[in-house]
Chains A and B, each alone.
Chain A
Amino acid sequence: MLMIKPTDSTLKLLNSILFRAIMLSYGLSLLISFNNILSVWWYFGATILYIGVYIILFNKKGYKSLIRLINDYAFITLISYGKPFYEIHCGIFILLPVINVLNHSGEKAVIPFSLRLYVLVLLSTLVLNDFKFDWVFVVPLVAISFINFLVYFRMTIIGYSNNLNSIIEEFYQENLSIGKTHLILKKVIKRHENNKLLSKYISVSSILLFQLKDNGYLKILLSSNFIVSFKLIDIKGFANQIQKQKQLSNLEMVLDDRISKHNLFILNEHQGKKYIFFVEFAKPPVLDWIMTAYQTKILLPLLSKISQVVYMEYQLEQERKKYFGELKTRLENIDSAVNAIHYLNNKLSPVLNYLEMLRLYPETDKALQSDLLVLIEREKGNAINNIIPITNKMNQMAEKSMNANIISDTTNIRFRKLFTLIRGVFDDNNTIDFELKVDWDEHIFNHSITSNINLLTFIFDEILINLEKHSTGSCNIEFLVANFPIIKFTNTVKNIERNKQALSKMVEDFNKDTINEIMKRGSNGLRIIKQYLMQLSIDHSMSILNDQLTLTLTIKPESNENPNI
């Protein structure tokens, strides 16, 4: 609806211009086809005046739009004057504004029956018929008006339906966040009430959304009005009934302290979730067929869309929970690391004090040395006793960090997605120039791996960070095919001569089965890359030739997919 309104008003203005063009052409055809009792200058002057007034009043609202209509009829009357207005050629000219009534471009809402228009038509025919009333125009006027009403009714229903459905679009644009979906139901009620025609015959007073659980329990998800409690009265096997019939109507339902009797329960299933919409009416519908048409043509498609939004919100909520779950685990890890540090600080005091006392011993007054020696011996014992818990704790921490598994879930990721991910990571970076060589074909792109998209993103981000630090600023990324699909990152290393030895060792460490060696070297970025690659079971190797460092990742597709690609 956000887009429809401006589009509609622009089209109406265009229609207005085209309609006047039709009026002028039609008038000209009349002037050519019939004898004209006035001189050509009258018609010429009238046409200029008609166009002039129209231009002045173009797109004007209020009483000026009435003057515009009077201008039309003044022109029609002058052109038709002295011509046989009861003939079809002339007669339609007089009725053209009536036919065009639904294109009315004034600010007031379009109405199929316009009294001021009828008055002008009758005035015009009176003038043309020497001020004598003639029924000849009344019948076609009534017929066209009724046809216009039918079109108007259809347009109203379409407009109403668009208006309701646009609530979903607006929600995505304005309010997309967890906990605001109830606004959709509120807006549905409000917009329904704004439609005077429909709300007069179908008076929707509230809408509630429930989720039907497997045990038959109804969980309230959303409501257009705040509801504390609800209860279905005397309904045996509601869950079975609604699942069988999909719709139930006029069941007695207690909402807080009032009883609803005129209502509709509609079951809508989406992605395995059973949503039940409860639509309450203030009074029973005037005609059953109106209600049936309303249900099937308007309500059901709308509620189906709302179900999709609710499901999306459910998914967002699940993601949020998962995220906070992961965050909690990480915070707990940080907490336990901090606690471990405090533990080590306490346990290390005797060791440090023992060494400090040994340092001070030679310079201590001879008279105190024997007493100090006693303390040194005591602290030596304490220090020795503490060394074992210290090393145990350190090993424990090292073990924890080695096993930090941050994969919370895995999904099926197509090779196409993998390619897009890598290209996206490098595209977003302005420091590294990269060139892609893609040998993967459609067949490979359609294969998939079971992996974790976040972890994969971490890996490629980390590769990029390493390139920024250690390369000359460019990287070739090749998507090749051997026994399995392969991704190769090749770059030129900065200051290769100075770092050759360290690089060779780094490559050697990286290619080992474990990451202990790399950890010892403190190469944090590579350690993370290797650790995550190992967690994702992605085969990896590194090689260096002259100043070209190459990282090769072998991506094995799902085992149930054909590996011989």
Chain B
Amino acid sequence: MKILIFENEFNAIRTSFDGFNLLYFNNELVFKDVPSSQAFPDLTRISEYNVVIIDIDLSIKSKLDGFQLLQEISKLNIKNLKIIILTGHISISDRLVELGFPELPIINKPINLTTIKKAFDYYGLKPQS
């Protein structure tokens, strides 16, 4: 299962994802991290991934922030795309509703492998083997 993560400090949280991968997905998950929106210029290629995790506060070097990225991805109408929000903002779900996005699972920072699991459980994702 391929996971795309828009997060500019992925190394700081990589072990949480590795632990989650080990304990709940038999290391089946393949993580691809991109630190900015421009690091993944062709957004149509998102369809190659099963899950997209978007950090709302991307680096200031990023052309688009998390909300804008979410808007651009929504415009593509990719079927069965599973999006998870990663954020340090507590009231992010209200903001997402304000901006007209559907209800999405949220991983609040600081994270650990269990909070990641809860977000994946939202979509009922299981290991294939």
Which of A's residues lie within 8 Å of B, judged by CB?
341-342, 344-353, 355-357, 360, 364, 368, 371-372, 375, 378-379, 382, 386
Contact = CB atoms under 8 A, between A and B. Distances in A.
Interface in B1-44: 9, 12-13, 15-16, 18-19, 22-23
Interface stretch (B66-74, B95-103, B108-116): B108-116
Interface in B77-112: 88, 109-112
B13 A349 contact: yes
A364 B23 contact: yes
B19 A352 contact: no
A349 B22 contact: no
A348 B110 CA distance: 6
18 contacts: A341-B88, A346-B110, A347-B110, A349-B110, A351-B110, A352-B112, A353-B112, A357-B112, A357-B113, A360-B114, A364-B23, A368-B22, A372-B22, A372-B23, A375-B15, A375-B18, A382-B15, A386-B12
B113 A349 contact: no
Interface residues of B, number: 17
Contacts of A357: 19, 112-113
A364 B19 CA distance: 11
Contacts of A368: 22-23
User: Which interface residue of B15, B18, B88 has the most chain A CB atoms within 10 A?
Assistant: B15
Contacts of B57: 342
Contact of B113 (A345, A351, A360, A371): A360
Contacts of B12: 346-347, 349-350, 382, 386
Contacts, number: 69
B9 A346 contact: yes
Contact of A345 (B16, B88, B112): B88
A143 to B, nearest CB: 85
A349 B15 CA distance: 10
A342 B122 CA distance: 25
Given A349-B16, A382-B15, A375 B110 contact: no
Given A378-B15, A382-B15, A353 B22 contact: no
Nearest to A375: B19
B contacts with A: majority SS: helix
B115 to A, nearest CB: 8
Given A342-B88, A353-B111, A357-B19, 10 more contacts: A342-B57, A347-B110, A349-B16, A349-B111, A351-B110, A353-B16, A356-B19, A368-B22, A375-B18, A375-B22
Nearest to A364: B23
A338 B111 CA distance: 18
A375 B15 CA distance: 7
A342 B59 CA distance: 12
A386 B9 CA distance: 13
Nearest to A386: B12
A356 to B, nearest CB: 4
A345 B109 contact: yes
A348 B22 CA distance: 21
A356 B15 contact: no
Nearest to A380: B15
A294 B38 CA distance: 73
Contacts of A386: 12
A349 B112 contact: yes
Contacts of A348: 109-110
B113 A356 contact: yes
Contacts of B16: 349-350, 353, 379
A345 B16 CA distance: 14
A346 B88 contact: yes
A353 B18 CA distance: 11
Contacts of A341: 88
A527 to B, nearest CB: 25
A346 B18 CA distance: 17
Contacts of B113: 353, 356-357, 360
A495 B109 CA distance: 42
A119 to B, nearest CB: 82
B88 A379 contact: no
A346 B59 CA distance: 13
Contacts of A342: 57, 88, 109
